Structure 1
Amino acid sequence: MKLSSIALLSIAAISFNTQADLLGDIQEKGVLTIGTTGDYKPFSYYDDTQYSGYDIDVAKHFAEQLGVEVRFVQTTWKNLVGDLKQGKYDIAMGGITRRMSRQLAAEQSQGYMTFGKVFLVANGKQDQYDTLKEVNVPSVKVGVNIGGTNEKFAEQFLTKATIVKYENNLDVPKAVSAGTVDVMVTETPEALFYQATDKTLQAVREENPFTKSQFGYLMPVGEERLLNTVNFIMDEMKLKGVDKELMKKNSLL
C-alpha cells in the first residue's frame, strides 16, 4: 500500500510539473495570438486589410510588454469561447462583456470599462423607442448580432418584438440607418461611437442604460499565470495612464 501511494504521488507530481503553461509557450514561440470578431467598433474592427480599435491597441501593448509579436485571429461572437477552448488563440479580446457563463467557461480578466445596454435608433426616433415597453411589441423590428449578450438581452426582455439576427455586428447599425430594423440592442460605447460618426443614428438611454456590466478579456481555463500577467499589465496601464491615452485615440473619451 505504501509503495502504491508513493507511486501515485510521484505520478501526480510529474503531472503537475508538466502541466501546460500558455504564458511560457507564448514567450517560447515569440507570438501572442488574439481572437477577435473585428465587427465591434470602436473596440475591434477589421477592414479586410488590418485590425483597429481600442482592444487591438491594448493587444499590441500586451505583446510589447511580453516582448513578443502579436497575431490576430478572426472569430465570431457565437464561436468566441469555443475557438478559445480549441486553442485557436491565447486571449479573446474586443468589447467582450464579463458575465457568469463566460466565467464558468474561461478565465476572465478584471473589468476595464463600465457600460450598459442601450438602444441605437434612427435620428429623431429616440423618444419613440426609449423604453422596453415601447420596443417590446411585434411591430418593432430589433436587430442583434448572433451569439453575443445583445441577443441574450433581446431574448430575455423583448420577447414580443420581432428579432432580426445578424452574423456580422457591423451590419446592424447599417440596418437601422436603412430602416430595415427599428432598433439595435447595443452597449453605451458602441452607441455613442455611431452617434458621433453617423448623423443618421441616435443613441437612446446612454445616460441611463438598462443594465450595468464591464468589458474584460478571456483566457483558457486554468491559465492563471497568463491571467495574472494580463491583470498586472492592465493595472500598470491604469497607473501610467496608458489606458486613457488609447481610449482618447479610439474616441472613447
Structure 2
Amino acid sequence: MKCVVALTLLLAQSFAFAQTPAPSTLSRVTQSGILRVCTPGDYKPFSFQRAPGEFEGLDVDLMGSLATALNAKPQFVKTTWANLLPDFVAGKCDIAAGGISVSLERQKQAYFSTPYMVNGKTPLTRCENVARYQSIEAIDQPSVRVIANPGGSNEKFARAKLSHAQLTMHSDNLTIFDELVKGHADVFVTEAAEAIVQSKAHPELCAVNPDKPLQYAEMGYLLPNGDDVFKHFVDQWLHLSQANGEYAQMSAKWLGK
C-alpha cells in the first residue's frame, strides 16, 4: 500500500512539474534589466551599425522605448539576415528587430508582434531607367540584371518572382546600392522605406512607385515562440506608442514623414 501511495505522489509531482509554465521572457528581462535585441544592423532606416556595438535607426529607437517600458536597457546582438532566425531560435536574444518582414516561414518558428508598418517590395534603379521597370514582368527578363542581398525576403522575392532575370547575390547590404550607381546592376527590389531612404542618399537612384509596391508586405518584431505573456506586452507597448504619438515622432525622424 505504501508503494502505491508513494508512486501516486511521485506521479502527481511529475504531472505538476510538467504543467508548470516556463518563465516568460518578460520576467527574465525585468529581473536582469537587459533586453537582448538581435539585428542585422545593415538596413537603413530601421537598424544600422555605425560602429562596433553602436546602432541607430527607427527600430533601434523603438527598442530603446520598449526597454524603458521594461525598466531595462537594450543590448543589441549583431547577426546577419541568413542567421537571423537560427540565432533567434537558439535563444541569443529576446526580440529581433531591424526591418523584418512578416512571413509564414518565420512564423513557423517564432511569434511576430502586431505589424507596425506596411512596407511592400519596391524596385530601386537608376533614375533614367524608372520607366523601364514598372512591373514584375518588365523586370523579369533575361536582359535585366537584378541584384539581391542573401538570407532575407529580398532574396526570396527575387528567386520566386524574377527567375528569368540575371540574378546576382551581393553579400554586403551596405554597398549593394553602389552597384546600381556604378551600373553593375539594373534593379534591386527591396522594401519601400529602404528604397526611399536610399534614393535620398544616392541622387542617381530612384524608387519606382513606392506607394504602389510590387508585393504587399508588413514589418514586425520576432518574439519567442509560445511566449504569450511577452507577446501581449510587446503588442500593448506598440499600441500605446502609436496612440500617444511616440511612434509617429520616431518615424518622422527616420522616414521624413
Distance in 2 (CA, whole Å) between partners of 1:165 and 1:55 is 26
Among the aligned pairs, what percent are the same residue? Answer: 32
Identify the residue that residue 176 of structure 1 maps to in structure 2. Answer: 180
Matches within 5 A, 1:58-69: 58-69=62-73
**Cα RMSD for the two superposed structures:** 1.7
2:39 to 30, 36, 40: 36
Instruction: Decide which structure has the larger Cα Rg and report it.
Output: 2
1:110-121 matched pairs, under 5 angstroms:
110-121=114-125
Q: In the superposition, relative to structure 1, how do residues 173 and 11 fare at CA in structure 2: closer, same or farther (>3 Å)?
A: same
Partner of 2:48: 45
Find the aligned partners of 1:4 and 1:129 in 2 and give their Cα distance: 72
Q: Distance in 1 between matches of 2:9 and 2:236?
A: 38
Give the residue type in structure 1 aligned to 2:216: K
What does residue 109 of structure 1 align with? 113
Note the 1:130-169 alignment, pairs <5 A: 130-169=134-173
1:185 aligns with one of 180, 189, 194:
189
Aligned length: 253
- Are the aligned partners of 2:126 and 2:186 in contact in 1 as well (CA < 8 Å)? yes
Matched, 1:221 2:228: no
Of residues 59, 76, 84, the one that matches 1:72 is 76
| Long gaps (5+) in structure 1 | none
Matched, 1:196 2:222: no
- Among 234, 240, 252, the residue aligned to 1:248: 252
8 Å Cα contact 1:143/1:166 also seen in 2: yes
Provide the secondary structure at the position in 2 that maps to 1:118.
strand
Q: Give the corresponding residue for 1:86.
A: 90
Q: State how far apart, in whole Å, the 1-side matches of 2:217 and 2:10 are.
A: 48
Question: TM-score under structure 2 normalisation?
Answer: 0.93
- Where does residue 95 of structure 1 map in the other structure? 99
Q: SS at the partner of 1:143? A: strand
Q: Does the C-alpha gap of structure 1 residues 6 and 41 become closer, same or farther in structure 2, counting only changes over 3 Å? A: same
Q: 1:19 maps to which residue?
A: 22
Q: Secondary structure at the match of 2:151?
A: coil
Cα distance in 2 for residues equivalent to 1:18 and 1:98: 27
Any stretches of 5+ residues in structure 2 without a counterpart? none
Query: 1:5-62 deviations in whole A, cap 9, x for unaligned?
Result: 7644432322332623222111111110100011111001111242110000000001
Q: Quick one: which of 119, 126, 131 aligns to 1:122?
A: 126
The Cα shift of 1:167 comes to 2.1
3-state DSSP class of the match of 1:96? coil
What are the superposed Cα offsets for residues 138-193 of structure 1, whole Å, 9 maximum, x if unpaired?
Answer: 22111111011111111111111111112232222121111111100101111111
Matching residue's letter, 1:38:
G
Partner of 1:209: 213
Find the residue that maps to 1:125 and give its secondary structure. Answer: helix
Q: Distance in 2 between matches of 1:3 and 1:161?
A: 70
Alignment deviations for residues 67-89 of structure 1 (CA, whole Å, 9 cap, x no partner) = 11111011111111100011111
Q: Which sits farther off after the overlay, 185-194 or 168-177?
A: 168-177
Is residue 96–residue 216 contact of structure 1 (8 Å, CA) maintained in 2?
yes
Query: Structure 1's 7 and 131: CA in aligned 2 closer, same or farther, altered over 3 A?
Result: same
CA distance in structure 2 between the partners assigned to 1:90 and 1:189 by the alignment: 25
